Structure 1
C-alpha cells in the first residue's frame, strides 16, 4: 500500500507541475537533465582515461567525446602547447581509446593498417600510439564533419560525383595492399563539405585478403586489382601466406589434402559400380586436427534427402553451421557475407559503396533496414530480383529458396518516386481510370517500379537524367550492387566508369 501511495503522490505532483509550468517547460527541464547527465558521464570518462594514461594528459588536452562504437570511443583533443592559440589556429586530433577487452592481435592489426596504408588517398593515418597496461589510444588527424543523414538529400550530381570518386580512390588504395576494410559506411567515411576533404576511418574490422584454394592458377577476378594468386608450391613454402588476416584461433592452420582414391574400372563411365557406391568417403588428414584444409573447406556439402522439403532432418539440423567472416554493419553486408561464403574478397567493400551511392540517389538513409540476415536477403531479392540472387548463390555453392519470384526494382524509377519527381508524383496522386497496367505488378504504368525488360541496369544514356542525376550514376550503382562478387566491378575499374571519370 505504501508503494501505491507513493506512486499516486508522484503522479499528483507531476500533474500539478504541468498545470503550473506547462508541458513545454517540463519537457525542456527533462532534456536539460538528460544532457547534464550525459555531460557528467563524458567528463568522468575523460578523467578516468587521463588517470590511466598520464602521458596523454601531459601532451594533449582532451575536450569532449565525438564518437563511440562497440570496440572504442573517440575524443576530440588538441596540443597543450597550443592552449593559448585561438581555436581556428589549433591543430585538432581524434583520440581513439580502444576498449580493454579487445584482442591484442586485433589492436596490432589495426595499428599496422593505419601505419602501412594510412596518410594518403583519403585514408586516415596515425600520428601517435600511447599505451599503459591495458589502456591504448591512437592519435589520428581530425576533420570537422556532419552526419550523412543531414546532407544526403542535398547533394547534387557534381557533389555526389566528387564524394564517390574520393571513396573509390580510398578503397582502391586500401585494396592495393590486399586488405578488406569490411565496415565501409557513411559514418566511417568522414566528409568536410566546406573544404571538400574526405577520410576513410576505422580499420578495427579490417582483414587481409585470403586466397581461395585452387588447383591451377587462374586470372584474377575483377575486384582483385590485378593481383594474381601465387603458385601452389610458393604458397606451401610460406605458411604466413595462407594465414587469414586476423586469425584469432589458438590452433595452427592445417595444410593437407585428401589422400588419393584408387581408380576403379567405373571411372569415366556413365555410372558408379556397387563397390564404389558402398565405399565410405575418403578420410582427409585434417580430420581430428585443429583446423580444416583448403580442399575440405572448398568441397560442397553432400545433398540430403530433405533438400527442398518443408522441414530439416535431424542429421542436417545437427550439422555445424558454415563458418565465414561476418564482420560489418547490418544493411551494408553483401550477399556473400549473408550466405556465409568463406572466401570473401575486396568486393565486400565495393558492395557497401554501392549501398552508399543508392542512398544518395534516392535520398534515403539507411537504404536497407533489415534486422537479421534472412530479412536482409529478402530485401536484396526485392531490389535485384530473385533470379540474379539465386544465380549468385549457386556460384558460391549456396542455395536460396523463396516462396515467390521477384522481378526486382528499377533504381531509376525508385529514385524518381522517392524524390517526388517524374513518375513518382503520379504514384502518390493515384491512377487515372483506364490507365494501362503493368503485366507483372498489376499497377498503372506511372506507378510501376519494376525493372525494365528491354534495357539492362548497367546500360545508360549520356543525354538522359533521372531525378537530377545523370543516367550513368544509376548504371554505376547497378555494377556496384551486382549480387555476384566475381562479376562485381572493382574500385579501380569504378574510377574509369563514365560517371566518375575525369
Structure 2
C-alpha cells in the first residue's frame, strides 16, 4: 500500500470556498489546474529544484508558507512504496530573512530526533527559500480524535511531550503547538513536531522580526478555525508603559477595578508581549500580555490537545477573538482562578520602567468552573441518564451537572475511569491547563506523571 495514501483522496475532495474567495476554484479539476500552475511557478522561481526533485502536488498551505510533496528524480523508476518522500516547504518571499534563518536554525539544531522534524536540505534563489524535510504521512486530527483509546492516547501524549521536552532543553518555545503541527502516522505509530516559524528563544530579549502579514489562507487541518489564526486584537491592561513615559498615575485612581480607563490612565501605552500562535491554543498569559512568557505556553497547548481527546471534541475552544477566548477559559477554569492569575502576573516591573504594572480581570458574572471529567462524560454520552437528584450548587440534576467537587482536579483515583480513560489522564490535563504559567507542569515532569509513566 502506498505511503502517500490519503493524499490522493485529499486532492480529489472538492475545495471549500468562502465569501472571501468567491472567484476561486470550486471543483477538484479546477483546483488541480491551479496547483499545477503553482508547481510550475515554484520550479521557475528555483530552477535547481527541478534538477533534483519531482514535485507531485501541494499538500498544505499556511499563512506564511506552502508545502508540496516531492521525491528524488533519481527514484523515478522506483515503486511508490519504496521511494523516499519529502515535504518541500516554500516560504512566502516577504518573510523576514532573520525569521527564515531562525526557523532553519531550529530545524537544523533541534530536529531529527525525539519526534521533532529535521531538515534535509535548504535551497534559495533570490528571495525564494525552500526547506526540504522528510514527509510523514498522516491523518487529520478530527478523523481520529473520537476514536483513540487510553493506550493510544498515552502513546500520542508521550510522543508529543517527548518532543516538547527536547525542544525546551534548547531554550526554545515552539509557540504553535496544535494537532496540525504534530503529524501522526497512525498506521506506523510515527510522530513529528513541525513548523518552527513562530518559535522563540526564552532568553532572547525580543522575538524574531514579525513575518509579513500576508493574506490569510486556509490550512486543511485549521479549516475548523475559520479566520481564527494569529488574530491581533489588542487586549490592554492598565498602567503599562514603554520608556520614555509620563509620570505614573496615582494608585488610588477612580478607575481602579472599573470596567473602563480614565483619561489620566489612558496616556499609558499598551503592554508589549509576544502573542504569536493559533487561536484556541493560546494560554491565559498571552491574553494578559505577560511579557515574561516561557515554555509553559507550549504546555498549555498540549493540555488543550489532551482535553480534545478526552472530550472527543475538536476544536475544544472555538472562540475567534481574544475576549471570547478568555471567556471560554474562564468558563472552564472559573472566574476566581483567572482573576488570581491576572493579579499574580501583573505584579512585575517592566524593564526601564520605575513603576509596577497592574493587571485585573473584570467579568460581568462569576463562574465556578467546570469539571472536565463530567464534561467529557456528557459530550461522549456516558453521563448517567436516570439520576433525578439535584446538585446543591447549580440545582441541576446530577445527570446534567458539570460542577466541580471538593477534590482537587489534579488528584486522581487509580481505580476510577471516565469514558474508558483512567482518572490520571484528567489529572494530567488539570496540571497542563493550570492558568498560572509558573505553576504549570513542565514537559519533563509530565512524562513522569502516573498517566504517562505506567507501561503500555
TM-score by length of 1: 0.75
| Contact 1:59–1:80 (CA under 8 A) maintained in structure 2 | yes
Is residue 473 of structure 1 aligned with residue 434 of structure 2?
no
Is residue 75 of structure 1 aligned with residue 56 of structure 2?
no
Distance 1:46 1:106 in 2: 24
| Contact 1:148–1:186 (CA under 8 A) maintained in structure 2 | yes
Distance 1:58 1:328 in 2: 36
Pick one of 276, 293, 316 that aligns with 1:367.
Answer: 316
Cross-structure match for 2:393: 440
Distance 1:245 1:334 in 2: 18
| Contact 1:105–1:248 (CA under 8 A) maintained in structure 2 | no
Cross-structure match for 1:491: 443
Pick one of 362, 365, 390 that aligns with 1:401.
Answer: 362
Distance 2:338 2:294 in 1: 18
For 2:114, what is the secondary structure of its paired residue?
A: coil
| Contact 1:209–1:244 (CA under 8 A) maintained in structure 2 | no
Distance 2:252 2:161 in 1: 41
Is residue 457 of structure 1 aligned with residue 450 of structure 2?
no
Cα displacement (A) at 1:287: 4.5
Distance 1:176 1:500 in 2: 20
Cα displacement (A) at 1:496: 0.1
| Contact 1:350–1:480 (CA under 8 A) maintained in structure 2 | yes
| Contact 2:107–2:196 (CA under 8 A) maintained in structure 1 | yes
Q: Deviations over 1:247-288 (max 9, x none)?
A: 569xxxxxxxxxxxxxxxxxxxxxxxxxxxxxxxxxx9x944
The number of residues matched between the two structures is 390
Which structure's CA Rg is the greater one?
Answer: 1
Cα displacement (A) at 1:312: 2.5
Distance 1:33 1:305 in 2: 57
Cross-structure match for 2:159: 166
Cα displacement (A) at 1:32: 9.9
Q: Deviations over 1:380-418 (max 9, x none)?
A: 111011111111111100211111111111011111111
Judging by fraction of residues, say which structure has more helix: 1
Distance 2:323 2:342 in 1: 14
For 2:108, what is the secondary structure of its paired residue?
A: helix
Mapping of 1:185-196 within 5 angstroms?
185-196=178-189
Cα displacement (A) at 1:35: 1.3
Relative to structure 1, the CA distance from residue 163 to residue 149 in structure 2 (aligned partners, 3 Å threshold; closer, same or farther) is same
Is residue 322 of structure 1 aligned with residue 279 of structure 2?
no
For 1:324, what is the secondary structure of its paired residue?
A: coil
| Contact 1:172–1:491 (CA under 8 A) maintained in structure 2 | yes
Mapping of 1:181-260 within 5 angstroms?
181-210=174-203, 243-246=205-208
Is residue 155 of structure 1 aligned with residue 148 of structure 2?
yes
Distance 2:57 2:249 in 1: 52
TM-score by length of 2: 0.82
Q: Deviations over 1:418-456 (max 9, x none)?
A: 111132xx2xxxx77xx3322222211221011112x11
Relative to structure 1, the CA distance from residue 82 to residue 456 in structure 2 (aligned partners, 3 Å threshold; closer, same or farther) is same
Pick one of 383, 407, 417 that aligns with 1:422.
Answer: 383
Gaps of 5+ in 1: 1-30, 211-241, 250-283
Cα displacement (A) at 1:474: 0.3
Distance 1:84 1:116 in 2: 34
Pick one of 124, 132, 135 that aligns with 2:125.
Answer: 132
For 1:97, what is the secondary structure of its paired residue?
A: strand
Cross-structure match for 1:220: none
The root-mean-square deviation of aligned C-alpha atoms, in Å, is 2.3
Is residue 87 of structure 1 aligned with residue 48 of structure 2?
no
Distance 2:26 2:196 in 1: 36
Distance 1:300 1:166 in 2: 49
Distance 1:354 1:386 in 2: 19
310-319 or 75-84, which deviates more: 310-319
Relative to structure 1, the CA distance from residue 470 to residue 300 in structure 2 (aligned partners, 3 Å threshold; closer, same or farther) is farther
Cross-structure match for 1:142: 135
| Contact 2:121–2:132 (CA under 8 A) maintained in structure 1 | yes
Cα displacement (A) at 1:315: 3.2
